[in-house]
Amino acid sequence: MSDTRQQRIDNLTDAARRKSQEKVKAAEAAIRRLIKRGDPVTFQAVQREAGVSQNFLYKNADLRARIEHQRQIHRPAPRPVPAAADTENNIVMALTAEVARLKKRHRQEVDELRKALEQAHGENLALRRELQRRGGSDG
């Protein structure tokens, strides 16, 4: 085998190793973020959060063990069948949680719109300046 061919193979192997290490780091960071937020640590949640495939998570023994361990730790306790009074409380709690979730989503959307508006104002100002520079008559 020629040196250049072996060198290309070595370079590809190194690149694959680095890419795999980056995916592992991303998955570990995703697990930490999920735990910090109090979200359940599942293969699907880690996959979405880290941007890696579920297959990658299942094939990596360390990540798989960590996710399965976290799933066991944070497994929700079975809920007893609620009485009639508890049902009303549950409805109130569910609606309160839904309102809180919607408020949070609303705040996020407002923030995104503010950022978009700021960007549009900046673009508008730049265009006005360009128009004035070219000799237009605006503002």
C-beta separation of 46 from 57 below 8 A = yes
Q: Which of 56, 57, 25 is nearest to 41 (CA)?
A: 57
Which DSSP string corresponds to 36-56? HHT----HHHHHHHHT--HHH
What's the CA gap between 93 and 102, in Å, rounded?
A: 14
What's the CA gap between 32 and 122, in Å, rounded?
A: 37
Residue 58 has which token pair?
């299942």
Lookup result for tokens 């009639």: 84
26: CB partners within 8 A, 6+ apart = 50, 51, 52
Residues of the chain with pLDDT under 70: 1, 75-85, 136-139
DSSP state of 135: T
Percent of the chain with pLDDT over 70: 88
Over the stretch 84-123, which tens digit does the pLDDT of each residue have? 667 888 889 999 999 999 999 999 999 999 999 999 999 9
